[in-house]
Structure 1
Amino acid sequence: MPTQQFEFTVETTGRGTYELTAALSERLANCGVRTGLCHVFVCHTSASLMLCENADPDVRRDLEALMSRMIPDGDPLFVHQNEGPDDMPAHARSVLTGSELTLPVREGRPALGTWQGVFLWEHRTGGQHRRLIVTVQGD
C-alpha cells in the first residue's frame, strides 16, 4: 500500500492539552494500513505534540504547572514579544516538547500502551486553529 497522508485541524480554546487519540485512531482505521508507522506533525511554532498519561488529567495539569514555573509568561529575559507576553514562552515550550511523533500501527490502530494518549499541547493563552499533517506508511 502506498504512503498516505492527510491533514486535520484542532480548534483550541487556549493553553492546555487536547487529546487526539480517538480522532487519530478513526482516521487510521479508514486508511486501510494494518501494520506500519504513523507520523504526526503539528505545523506551528507555539504548540507541540506529546505522548502522555491519558487516565489521570492531573498528570497533564502538573506538566502545565511545571512548564509555567520553568518558562513563565512575561519573563523579562525574553526580547521577542510580538504577539504578547505568552509569545516567546510558547515558542520555548514548543521547542522543548517537540512538534512531531512517530507511532507504530498495529491492526489498523496506534499501538499505544494501556495508559498512553496522543495530545496536542497548546502553549498560547488564546484559542488557535492548529493544523496537523499525518503520514501513514505500511501494509
Structure 2
Amino acid sequence: MFHAESLTLATRGRGTYEITRQIQQVVGNAAIERGLCTVFVHHTSASLIVCENADPSVRVDLERYFARLVPDGDPIFVHVDEGDDDMPAHIRSILTQSSITIPVARSRCDLGTWQGIYLWEHRTAPHQRRITISVVG
C-alpha cells in the first residue's frame, strides 16, 4: 500500500516549527499498520530534523551553533542574490536533511518518547514551505 499527501507550512522566518502532529495525521489517514513514512521538504533553504521535543532550549542551542558555524553575511560567500542569509541557508539545509524516514507501527510514526519532527526554516524572512509525506507498507 502507498499513500501520499502534501502540506504547506507558513513560517515566520528562521527557526524550528514542529510538524509531528500533521505528519502523524497523514500516517493515520494512510491506514497502514506497519511500514515507513518519508517526509520531504521541497526547498533548498529549509530542512527537516528529528529533535528533542521536551525542552525548547535544545533547538535554541542548535540555532546558536549553526549561527556560529555558518554566519550570515560571511564575506567568503559569492552567492548573495537574496541577501546575507541566502548562502548560509543553503549550507544549513545541506548540513541537515531535506528528507527523513521514520518507521510506522500501529498506524503511527514510531518516534521515541522525546522525539519530534521539525521543519527548520533557515531564512530570516517568512516563507511558504511545501512538504510531502509518503507512507508505504
TM-score bracket relative to the smaller structure: over 0.9
Task: State the partner residue of 2:52.
Answer: 53
Q: Partners in 1 of 2:29 and 2:93 — Cα distance?
A: 30
Task: State the partner residue of 2:96.
Answer: 97
Q: Deviations over 1:49-76 (max 9, x none)?
A: 0000000000000000000001000000
Q: Aligned-pair distance for 1:4?
A: 1.3
Q: Aligned-pair distance for 1:46?
A: 0.1
Task: State the partner residue of 1:16.
Answer: 15
1:88 aligns with 2:87: yes
Q: Partners in 2 of 1:26 and 1:134 — Cα distance?
A: 10
- For residue 57 of structure 2, give the secondary structure of its aligned residue in structure 1: helix
Q: After the TM superposition, list the runs of 4 or more consecutive aligned residues in structure 1 that deviate by more than 6 angstroms.
A: none
Task: State the partner residue of 1:74.
Answer: 73
Amino acid at match of 2:9: V
Q: Deviations over 1:70-125 (max 9, x none)?
A: 10000001000000000000000000001000000011110000000000000000
Q: Aligned-pair distance for 1:34?
A: 1.1
Q: Partners in 2 of 1:32 and 1:108 — Cα distance?
A: 6
Q: Which runs of 5+ in 1 are unaligned?
A: none
Percent identity over the alignment?
55
Q: Aligned-pair distance for 1:6?
A: 1.1
Q: Partners in 2 of 1:35 and 1:16 — Cα distance?
A: 32
Q: Is the 8 A contact 2:26 2:133 kept in 1?
A: no
Q: Partners in 1 of 2:7 and 2:34 — Cα distance?
A: 22
Q: Which runs of 5+ in 2 are unaligned?
A: none
Amino acid at match of 2:112: G
Task: State the partner residue of 1:119.
Answer: 118
